Structure 1
Amino acid sequence: MMDSNNPGLSRRALLGVFAATAVSAAPTFSKAAGFLRGGGDVRKVRMYSGRTGERLDMVYWVDGQYIKESLNEITHFMRDWRTDQTKTIDPRTIDIMAAAHNLLDVNEPYMMLSGYRCPETNAMLRSRSRGVAKNSLHMRGQAADLRLASRSVSQMARAAMACSAGGVGKYSRSNFVHMDCGVVRHWGA
């Protein structure tokens, strides 16, 4: 599961996100795993796409194992909707999204704005916006741009940063947060 070319997220750091065993009332990072483990040793992701109208509400990890069929469905859901192309979504990104969602203590699913982007889509978006990276992790299936109606960009970004497991970008003007499993870093206002 670990890519030696990606020093940004070690197995140990990811396990740290899910290591806590007690659940308390305060949604802090130290309790992130407790929120994920609240229904047993299970991880779940909930999203919808305003672009395709599709919804996703599924368990993707049980008792220490990723569920291959669930990961395949998540990969399809997070496809480049402009071209219908897919790339396997890195489970570490899904873990970060799930942990942040649990820290936010909401039932509302994420609105996914962007998951995988093929190079052509990324180039087109880059030509229209300075906020699109030339070598975006979206093209590797390692990033997602997400929104919640009930939480601010700042609240979402703080929850994602609390995971200390990847990149977090705040895009307040566009009302979304970027989460990825790359090097731990943050940007935006």
Structure 2
Amino acid sequence: MSHSFTPSRRLFLRHSANIAVAGASLPFASRAFAGLEPRSLTLDHTHTHEKVSLVYASGNNYVPQALGRLNRFLRDHYTGDVGRIDPHLFDILHRITLALSTQGAYQVISGYRCPTTNNRLRATRGGGVAKHSLHMDGKAIDVRLPGVPLAELRDAALSLQAGGVGFYPHDQFVHIDTGRVRSW
């Protein structure tokens, strides 16, 4: 089910300047960040209880060691399988933190999922897991941001028009992916 996105005037005014700084209208490739400060993320995994805070890119360049750490951090927490995470997913998260003017740590609910885990979750979650989930391709993450209302996190992600955004208020997370622009 797709929901239309109509931001409130208050939210629009509050975040417009920040979104402009985040480069919402620029192409999404890393070259969009050329000349800007290093890009960093702080993540806290709700299942493994691990934390990571690092610079993952600067200008046109991603930092290979940081991407390796993030791949391991976002591994399938059920099996330990490590996938290759799309670096553009990190750019989306970074742009959201800029848009929301926050420096808090994202709480990660789910990153990479191997096909076996995805199939098991599909069988046990009553259809709430996609058969061809972008989590299996390293192109999706489920997160929340303490101190930021879940609806504001969703709205900031939607405003970027950078990929898919799913809103799960009952489960307290927002799904963000690098697939086509859509929402549910």
**TM-score with structure 1 length normalisation?**
0.80
Deviations 1:60-107 (A, max 9, x none): 111221011101100000000111001110011111111112212222
**Which of 18, 21, 43 is the matching residue for 1:31?**
21
Matched, 1:150 2:147: yes
CA contact (8 A) 1:41 1:64 kept: no
Matched, 1:160 2:162: no
Gaps of 5+ in 2: 1-12, 25-31
* Cα distance in 1, alignment partners of residues 124 and 94 from structure 2: 30
CA contact (8 A) 1:169 1:178 kept: yes
Matched, 1:173 2:179: no
State the Cα distance separating 1:152 from its structure 2 match.
Answer: 1.8
* Cα distance in 2, alignment partners of residues 131 and 46 from structure 1: 27
Question: Which range is displaced more, 49-58 or 175-184?
Answer: 49-58
Gaps of 5+ in 1: 1-24
CA RMSD of aligned residues (A): 2.0
Task: Kindly tell me the number of residue pairs found equivalent between the two proteins.
Answer: 161
Matches within 5 A, 1:18-167: 26-28=14-16, 29-33=19-23, 40-129=36-125, 130-167=127-164
CA contact (8 A) 1:44 1:59 kept: yes
Deviations 1:133-180 (A, max 9, x none): 010000000000001221122101111111111000000110100000
**TM-score with structure 2 length normalisation?**
0.82
Q: Which residue identity does 2:22 align to in structure 1? A: A
2:98 is paired with a residue whose SS is helix
Q: Which residue identity does 1:154 align to in structure 2? A: A
State the Cα distance separating 1:33 from its structure 2 match.
Answer: 3.5
State the Cα distance separating 1:26 from its structure 2 match.
Answer: 4.7
> In percent, how many aligned pairs have the same letter?
36
